[in-house]
Structure formats: structure tokens, C-alpha cells
A and B are shown apart, each in its own frame.
Chain A
Amino acid sequence: MKLKSFLLFVAIFTLFSVNNQSVAQKHRKSTEIIILHTNDMHSRIDNFGKLAYLADSLRKTHKYVFLVSAGDNFTGNPIVDMYPDKGFPMIDLMNKLDFDVTAVGNHEFDMGQELQNKRREQAKFPYVTCTIDVSGAVVKPYEPYVLLKAGKIKIPFLGLLQLGENGLPDSHPSRLEGLKFTNGIEKAKDFISLKDKYGMLVVLSHLGVDDDEILANTYPQLDLIIGGHSHTTMNKPMMVNNVMIVQTGSGLKNIGITTLQVTKGKITDRRYELVPLASITKTDPEVQAMIDKYNSNEEMKRVVGFAETAFSSQEELGYMMTDAITSRLKVDFAFQNGGGIRISELPQGNILLKDIFRLDPFGNQVVTYTMTSDEIKSLISNAYNREKSIDLAPSGMSYTVIVNSEGLCAEVEIKDKTGNILDTGKSYTVGVNSYIAASYKFNHTDPGTTNYNTTAQILLDYLEDAKKVNYAGVKRISEKK
């Protein structure tokens, strides 16, 4: 298998070199510029050694090689996201590989504005975006674009950021305070003159492929859109309105190699290849040592809370998980499904960061609903009927499932924390994980909204606030047959 992978890499590399030679012969007076690009790395660091090897190999044989990211470098791997200096391993590795620029993605805000400033101070490459007004915010101003130089040639790389229906990028709104955002497709108009000035224009787009298509249809002046956000893996480029659109998926599984041939100040040829990093068997030893160091991170042994008594069941652990949601998100009720509680006990004593990710490894987000008591009953009832047994651990309430002769839920009795039956005319706020939201059938007129917090992060925050927890003997669910 290793030999097969190595041969594949050699084939890609040889094809690339032969292709380049033939193009170079064709364009004797032209300049060849190689852009290595990634997007949506989401804190995945394991392939950085292979990328370093590839980048260095190309830098040895080609004069102009750029390495760029189309944003969302963070969020998705606790080794990076929970590092004592949150996110630093990613910056450290991107610096080591000599990244030239990154676009600002929506998840660049997940660590908060102050920490983003700190990461940007540490970065040896700029964050670019033209769609954010920071005048009322903590985060420092961004350059809208950067000029990357290949001899006398200057290529502008313009940054664009995605906005959701609410006019904000997909991150928790509390992390976006003071920021004003403008629509990237409209704002790009202000920078199209860069094409006239420099003869070419590249967009580092964190808009997603649907908006990239609109962008290309709107501005045929663009030469290249290096896309991100939609996690689209393009084996070949999309050509729209003679604009080339490329994107490489997510998690640094692949790298894009886009080659520009520039003749007399104009791009005369564009080529794109998608290289799966799994096909590269060699790695840069220095970078690999950095990755290994981060992956064996002692931070995972950090104490995040204290269990005054042992957790002896999934049910007790479920109560802690749901109490975290009601406490942190200020919702009335929360539910956790049994299948999402991945350990069944936790000893008395210190709770470590790694225990959180053993308990809740899935990266599920919290989804909140406004629901009536009947809708809440339908959730509990349908959850019970999936396996004809109690499934959901609640917070903010206790409930009893009345079971009929067929073993199905016939009725649900719910009492709030004070022991009162829920008011049938009232609506309640409810938090569940995204697995329940996606796969459980229940009545709800509110389609639900995620706030881009993971259940693991919520639990971590809860424990760090509470310091001590004790769930021995807690009982919130029962069934009557």
C-alpha cells in the first residue's frame, strides 16, 4: 500500500513537472507561478509534514511558489482548539511552512476577538478580508487584500467572507460584537479595479461554492477564485464565465496546486490539480516532530473539574451534560441521548480535559428550540419508542414514561424543577445535541437553530465554572408499566 501511494505521488509529481516543462517551452518569455492552496483546515494538523515536504520540493524546482489558505484554519480538533494558548499550534505550523496569506473565515472568530488579535500578531502572514468594518470592535483592522510578488509581477489576493441569513458569518453572535459585515459579492465591486492596475486578480473566497458561482458570473474580470467554506472537493476546476473556481475539501486531506502562466503582465494559462496528501508518503521531519509534540499534548491531562462522588452510570453523566446546556445557554430544558454518552462511569476525583472528549467525542453542536409541552412530550415519547426504553437524560425537569401493553410510550408526565406539571399553554426553550435534532422524529414548529457551540465546549465551560459536581443519587427519569 505504501509503495502504491509513493508511486502515485511520483506519478503526480512527474506529470506536473513534464506538464510544466512543456508549458514553459510554449511560453518562453512567461513566468510560471505555483499557488499551493488549502481551505477549511479546521485545526487538522496531521498532514502538515507532508504538505511541508511537497511545498519544499516545489520550492526547490520552481522560483515562485505561494502557499495560501482560503480561511477556517481553526475549530475541529481539540489538540489545537483546547491548547493552553488556543489555536497557537495552527499558527506555529503555518508559520513553519511559510504560508503567504489566509482569508478570514467565519471560524476564525470562534476563539473570540482578543485571541484572534493575538494569533494574528504571532502569524507571519496576513489575514485578509474586505467585508468587515472593525471600527466598533476589539479585533484589529484587516487588509482587504495582499500583493504577492513574483519578480516584477504583483498578484492581488482579495479576501471575501461568508454571511448567513442573519447578516453575520456562521459563528456565535457574542463573538462578533462591534463588527459590521458587508455582502462579499457586492463589496468585491470596490476592488475590481485591481485587475486593471495589476493585470490580474485572485480572490481568496470564504463564501462557499454557490456564492463563488455568482461571484464569477458577476465579475468576469476575476482570474481565479480559491474557494472555501462549503468544504467542496474539486477534482477539476469549475469554469464559470471564464473564471476558474477551485476548492480542496476540508481537514487538509488534499492540497490544490494551481499554476498560473503570466506573459506580458497577463495570465495566459491556468491549470489546477488536486493532490490527496495521503498519496505523499514522505514528510518533513522537523514539521513532523512539531506535530508529534502537539499530539502528545500534556494539556489533555489538565484538570477541568472535580467529581465529589463517582459517576456510576450513563444516566448521571447525561444529567451533567444537560445541566451544562441549561446552565450555560439559559434554556429551560435540555436532553442528551444515551448513545451520545460514550463512557459509563467516571471515578471520584479530578475530571480531566481528555475525559470530556472521551465522554463526548462527536463534535455535536447544541441546537435550541422553542417548544410547547406537547412537543416536548412528543420528543420524549418518540425517543422512548426507538428502543422501547428510556433514552433521554433531561435537565430542568423530571419525567415519567407510561408504557402500554405493547411496550410503547402511551403518555409522558413532566414536572419542572419545582415539581409542577408543565403549563400546556406555555412555550419553553429546549437545547439538544445536533444528533437528536437531525435524527429523532418529534413534533416541533420551530425548525431549531444552532449557536455554533459544541456540547463538549459547553460542558467544559460548565465544569470550569462549577468547579465541583456531585450527581450521586440524582434521578430524573422513570417508567411505569
Chain B
Amino acid sequence: MKVILNNSEIIIFKGATISDMVLAYSVRSHKMLISGKLCVYDRFGNLTEIDGPVYEGQMFFLKRKE
């Protein structure tokens, strides 16, 4: 399935989590996500936990923690 992270299209398996999505985007970013330096926000601007599910067509943003 396709999801959008920081305006980049990520192709990831069905059933993936936020953590899986960031790992597919960048291993370095994933390490920063796990360490808490980066966080994932949804299209509404809400923080999304790394164990949250992702679905086809969803859009997220990886940013420094607000």
C-alpha cells in the first residue's frame, strides 16, 4: 500500500505501523524516532504514537518534537 510521509510516497506492506513506515522511509530517521528526537504527526497535526496503524493513502509528517 502507499502512504505519504513528508510528501514522499512510501510503499509498505498492509498492516504496517507508524514505526514500520518510518523505517521504510529512512533507517536514520527511524533511530531518531525511537530515541524521541523525531515524532510523527497526522494530517490534523496530532502526535501519532509509533505503534499506531497506517492505512492506504494516509498522510503523515515526521518532525522534531513540538
Contacts and interface: CB of A to CB of B under 8 A. Distances in A.
Q: What interface size band does chain B fall in?
A: 20 to 34
Given A210-B58, A230-B53, A249-B49, A438 B20 contact: yes
A250 B19 CA distance: 14
A76 B1 CA distance: 24
Contacts of A435: 23
Interface string B10-37: 0111111111110110010010000000
Interface in A236-260: 238, 247, 249-251
Interface stretch (A190-198, A405-413, A442-450, A461-469): A442-450
A450 B14 CA distance: 6
Contact of B53 (A208, A437, A439): A208
A209 B46 contact: yes
A76 B42 contact: no
A76 B47 contact: no
A253 B30 CA distance: 21
Interface string A275-303: 00000000000000000000000000000
Interface string B24-66: 1001001000000000001010111101110110100000000
A213 B19 CA distance: 23
Contact of A230 (B24, B27, B48): B48
Q: What interface size band does chain A fall in?
A: 35 or more
B51 A438 contact: no
B42 A209 contact: yes
A231 interface: yes
B52 A439 contact: no
A447 B23 CA distance: 16
A110 to B, nearest CB: 13
Given A447-B14, A448-B14, A165 B56 contact: yes
B51 to A, nearest CB: 6
A234 B46 contact: yes
A229 interface: yes
A37 interface: no
Contact of A232 (B13, B14, B46): B46
A452 interface: yes
Given A435-B23, A437-B13, A233 B47 contact: yes
A438 B56 contact: no
A435 to B, nearest CB: 7
B11 A450 contact: no
A434 interface: yes
A76 B49 CA distance: 14
A427 interface: no
Interface in A84-103: none
A80 B30 CA distance: 28
A130 to B, nearest CB: 22
A439 B16 CA distance: 12
Interface of A: 40, 42, 76, 164-165, 170, 208-210, 213, 229-235, 238, 247, 249-251, 365, 367, 434-435, 437-439, 447-452
Q: Which 7 pairs of residues, A with B, have the shortest CB-CB distance? A: A450-B15, A231-B52, A448-B13, A231-B49, A438-B20, A438-B23, A233-B47
14 contacts: A42-B51, A165-B14, A231-B49, A231-B52, A234-B47, A235-B47, A238-B44, A238-B46, A251-B49, A365-B15, A434-B17, A438-B21, A447-B14, A450-B15
Given A170-B53, A434-B16, A447-B14, 10 more contacts: A165-B56, A209-B46, A230-B48, A231-B49, A434-B13, A438-B13, A438-B16, A438-B23, A439-B27, A450-B16
